[in-house]
């Protein structure tokens, strides 16, 4: 009999979530749980599917991890940039008396991080991300895609007036994957270490015919973006704010700062003269989506070696930001094209 493959999650599509795996119309908990000895236990937060057959795989953690962003009253303020695919997702600790590593969901993430660091890629968990924020998704979830786990940071977050130690989980949506068949996820859970790990390591190290010359890179100039970001970060730190520098993650802003119940996403723009800052499409999209908490820091005539004035810019929610635009040409090389030309060095 041909396997049933109609149950699939397609990026950008919505699915019925009745929070009841016994409901025949449920396309979330029921689809994940129906044929397995394991299953998801919640329809928001961090959950996963365990390996069900091969005990040797238990040490790897979950075979499949499911993350759901929600505007439930107990949810943290997650950041999802659908343009760049970058996600900043908070763990599930809400208890001031617990460590970040003590909670069930955070343990799933830490186990996954250990597996990713120590095991071949074939054994890494599959991480699926769903969104159920907003009134338009009441009773539904939207599949945003498969994620790569980029970074996990233990930090504090202000929750219900208390400073809680929690995990801040950085993820990147894989734009190459447009759909996932539920049957394939179930088969992975029922797999064994032989079937999953097909990678081979070539023990032969081929030496280059001639030694490569070492490249010496000069230090960045005085107005590199990092220096300006660091300058603004030090300002916030001196005023007692908690600061995370996230510019390298391409989320759409440079600094995440919080103090008490106040949180800002800070974009830093600097110039060696008068500033008319430029923004990427990704940065503008994020600004429009999170204007309530968005803060622009402008440093004109910036010199990192002397005191500088920071000009803070915050547009009201009802004011549309006007930009002038220019067009540049970019060239995209498809994955199929470059994969056909891979060589060994």
pLDDT tens digits along 234-271: 999 999 998 988 888 888 899 999 888 888 999 999 88
Does residue 334 form part of some domain? no
Same domain, yes or no, for 26 and 128?
yes
Tokens of 236: 């916030």
Q: Is residue 122 part of a domain?
A: yes
Structure tokens given for 1: 């009999």
Q: Check the CA dihedral 332-334-339-340 and report its sign.
A: negative
Please check whether residues 168 and 82 belong to one and the same domain. yes
**Same domain, yes or no: 192 and 237:** no
* Bridge-based pairing state of the strands 242-245 and 255-259: antiparallel
Residue 126: inside a domain, yes or no? yes
Residue 328 maps to a domain: no
Beta strands in the chain (DSSP E): 8-10, 14-16, 45-49, 64-69, 79-80, 86-90, 126-131, 140-159, 162-173, 179-181, 242-245, 255-259, 262-270, 294-299, 311-313
Residue 251 inside a domain? The answer is yes
Same domain, 47 and 192: yes
Q: What is the CATH number of the domain that holds 292?
A: 3.40.1350.10
Q: Are residues 169 and 278 in the same domain?
A: no
Instruction: Specify the pLDDT at position 219.
Output: 42
The tokens for 293 are 């908490």
Q: How far apart are CA 77 and CA 71, in angstroms?
A: 8
Q: What is the rounded distance in angstroms from the CA atom of residue 116 to the CA atom of residue 147?
A: 13
Whether 117 and 175 map to the same domain: the answer is yes
Q: Out of 156, 180, 196, pick the residue that ends a domain.
A: 196
Q: Say if 15 falls within a structural domain.
A: yes
Instruction: Mark whether 16 and 123 lie in a shared domain.
Output: yes
pLDDT of residue 272: 76
Residues 302 and 295: beta-carbon distance below 8 Å: no
CATH of the domain at 65: 2.30.280.20
Which residues are within 8 A (CB) of 1 and not within 5 positions of it... i.e. 6 or more apart?
Answer: none
DSSP conformation class of 292: G
Query: Does residue 258 lie in a domain region?
Result: yes
Q: What are the φ and ψ backbone dihedral angles of 279, each rounded to 5 degrees? A: -130, 145
Q: 40 and 182: one domain?
A: yes
What is the C-alpha separation between 321 and 291, in angstroms, rounded?
10
| Residue 210 confidence (pLDDT) | 41
Q: Which of 312, 257, 265, 261 is nearest to 291 (CA)?
A: 265
| Domain hosting residue 265, numbered range | 225-313
- Asked whether residue 205 is assigned to any structural domain, the reply reads no
Assess whether 13 and 67 both reside in one domain.
yes
The reply to whether 255 and 133 lie within a common domain is no
For position 344, what pLDDT does the model report? Answer: 65
Are residues 31 and 176 part of one domain?
Answer: yes
Work out how many domains the chain is built from and give that number.
Answer: 2
Which residue's structure tokens are 């539904």?
140
How do the pLDDT tens digits run along the chain, 345 residues long?
A: 344 567 899 999 999 998 887 888 989 988 988 877 667 777 678 998 988 877 788 888 999 999 999 887 777 788 998 888 999 999 999 898 999 999 999 999 999 999 999 888 888 999 999 999 887 888 899 999 999 999 999 988 877 778 889 999 999 999 888 899 898 888 888 877 766 665 433 333 333 334 434 444 444 445 567 888 989 999 999 999 989 888 888 888 999 998 888 889 999 998 877 777 888 888 888 888 888 899 999 988 888 888 888 898 888 887 777 776 666 666 666 657 766 776 665
Q: Model pTM?
A: 0.68
Nearest to 270 by CA among 243, 307, 303: 303
Residues 168 and 21 in one domain: yes
3-state secondary structure of 102: helix
Helical spans, DSSP H, in the chain: 29-33, 104-118, 182-189, 193-196, 225-238, 281-289, 335-339
């Amino acid at each position: 009999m041909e396997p049933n493959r109609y149950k699939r999650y397609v990026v950008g599509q919505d699915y019925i979530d009745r929070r009841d795996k016994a409901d025949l119309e449920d396309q979330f908990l029921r689809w994940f749980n129906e044929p397995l000895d394991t299953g998801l236990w919640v329809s928001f937060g961090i959950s996963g599917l365990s390996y069900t057959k091969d005990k040797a795989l238990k040490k790897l953690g979950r075979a499949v991890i499911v993350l759901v962003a929600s505007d439930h009253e107990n949810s943290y303020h997650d950041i999802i940039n659908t343009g760049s695919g970058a996600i900043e997702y908070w763990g599930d600790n809400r208890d001031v008396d617990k460590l970040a590593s003590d909670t069930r969901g955070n343990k799933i993430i830490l186990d996954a991080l250990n597996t990713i660091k120590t095991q071949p890629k074939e054994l890494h968990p599959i991480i699926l991300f769903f969104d159920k924020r907003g009134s338009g998704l009441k009773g539904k979830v939207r599949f945003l895609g498969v994620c790569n786990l980029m970074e996990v940071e233990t930090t504090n977050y202000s929750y219900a007036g208390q400073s809680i130690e929690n995990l801040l989980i950085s993820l990147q949506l894989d734009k190459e994957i447009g759909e996932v068949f539920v049957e394939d996820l179930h088969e992975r859970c029922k797999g064994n270490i032989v079937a999953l790990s097909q990678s081979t390591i070539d023990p032969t190290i081929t030496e280059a015919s001639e030694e490569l010359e070492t490249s010496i890179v000069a230090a960045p100039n005085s107005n590199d973006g990092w220096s300006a970001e660091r300058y603004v970060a030090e300002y916030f730190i001196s005023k007692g704010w908690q600061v995370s520098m996230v510019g390298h993650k391409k989320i759409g802003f440079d600094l995440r700062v919080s103090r008490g119940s106040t949180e800002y996403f800070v974009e830093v723009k600097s110039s060696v003269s008068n500033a008319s800052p430029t923004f990427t499409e990704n940065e503008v999209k994020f600004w429009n989506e999170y204007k309530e908490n968005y803060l622009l820091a402008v440093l004109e005539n910036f010199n990192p070696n002397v005191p500088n004035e920071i000009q803070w810019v915050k547009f009201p929610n009802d004011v549309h930001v006007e930009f002038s635009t220019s067009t540049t040409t970019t060239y995209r090389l498809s994955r199929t094209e470059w994969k056909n030309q891979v060589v060994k060095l």
